[in-house]
Structure 1
Amino acid sequence: MICYRLRCAAGHEFEGWYRDSATFAQLQAGGFLSCPECGHAGVQQALMAPAIAKKRSEGPAPRQCPEVPAENAGEKPVSPVLPDQMVAAFQKIRQAVETGCENVGDRFAEEALRMHHKEAPERGIYGQASEEDRSMLAEEGVDVLSIPWVRRADG
């Protein structure tokens, strides 16, 4: 594994872990890297100091994940940062949903139920539903999928 210090076009710096430098280059060329703070896809390597072992028998000092400070290493992070690949995948899912489905907003549960009962034409929809709405839809046998709604790749 290799750790790169990265910087987005907006100036946010963050770390990314990759199998090797070729994997990083492939992901970067394919547009699969994005800033975990703003979602911007223009990600480049930033300057970074190498880890140098003091003794030959010792390896480089182990690195802590940036979102888990060393003093809290045993605790679950409060707001973990999604890896670049996941953010990119969710951005593509969002784009596909927005392009191919109808946004019914807070009428999601009502419209999904109407489609289930054949009272409305069947089509792809998305919107917001409360936990109560999701429970009611599950009881009615309506399959619903919740997707993490990340920032758009273009904004």
Structure 2
Amino acid sequence: MIKFTLKCEQGHRFDSWFQSASAFDRLCETGMVACAICGSARVEKALMSPQVQGARDDRSLAAQPGSAEQVIAALRRKVEANADYVGPQFAQEARDMHDGHLPERAIYGEARPEEARRLIEDGIPVAPLPFSPRRKTN
């Protein structure tokens, strides 16, 4: 996992985690990275200062408090507890809520890259999650 500070065309700065630098590049090329503030898909890496970590013992970084894995796990728990899973109907549900056809509520699910890109282009506020939803089979 790698954290980048990003900046949109409006000058908004925000941080986001990616699986790798190449994963960030792929997501940017497909319009899947959007400003966390205004939703703009015109995002680039902002100038960042490196984070230098002091000496540590033999424990792995993943076991340390505040590690990326723990933060992502906490985010997953919060999303799953406070939002409705709509599965592959995410794009249509988000569009229907935005257009006033459905009452607004917190949702999460899955969308194909082209569906997500169209939502962003149409000004519908969506953001990718740093984890894949657990598929509900029952």
TM range (shorter): 0.5 to 0.7
Report how many residues are paired.
80
1:148 corresponds to which residue? 130
Where 1:145 maps in the other structure, the secondary structure is: coil
Where 2:100 maps in the other structure, the secondary structure is: coil
Partner amino acid, structure 2, of 1:4? D
CA contact (8 A) 1:106 1:128 kept: yes
1:2 corresponds to which residue? 55
Matches of 1:125 and 1:99, distance apart in 2: 11
CA contact (8 A) 1:101 1:124 kept: yes
Change (3 A) 1:87 1:150: farther
Relative to the length of structure 2, the TM-score reads 0.52
CA contact (8 A) 1:94 1:150 kept: no
CA contact (8 A) 1:4 1:16 kept: no
Matches of 2:96 and 2:118, distance apart in 1: 13
CA contact (8 A) 1:115 1:121 kept: yes
Higher Rg of the two aligned structures: 1
Unaligned runs of 5+ in 2: 1-53
Partner amino acid, structure 1, of 2:119? L
Unaligned runs of 5+ in 1: 7-14, 18-23, 33-84
Q: Which runs of structure 2 are paired with 1:127-138 in the superposition (5 Å)?
A: 127-138=109-120
Change (3 A) 1:90 1:120: same
Partner amino acid, structure 1, of 2:81? T
Matches of 2:121 and 2:61, distance apart in 1: 42
1:116 corresponds to which residue? 98
Matches of 2:57 and 2:133, distance apart in 1: 23
Relative to the length of structure 1, the TM-score reads 0.47
Structure 1: 4+ residue segments shifted above 6 A: none
- In the TM superposition, what is the alpha-carbon distance from 1:150 to its structure 2 partner? 6.8
Matches of 2:74 and 2:119, distance apart in 1: 26
Matches of 1:151 and 1:88, distance apart in 2: 16
- Larger CA deviation: 85-94 vs 124-133: 85-94
Is 2:68 the partner of 1:86? Answer: yes
Change (3 A) 1:138 1:98: same
Task: Tell me which of the two structures has the higher relative contact order, counting C-alpha pairs closer than 8 angstroms and 6 or more residues apart.
Answer: 2
CA contact (8 A) 2:109 2:133 kept: no
Aligned-pair identity in percent equals: 31
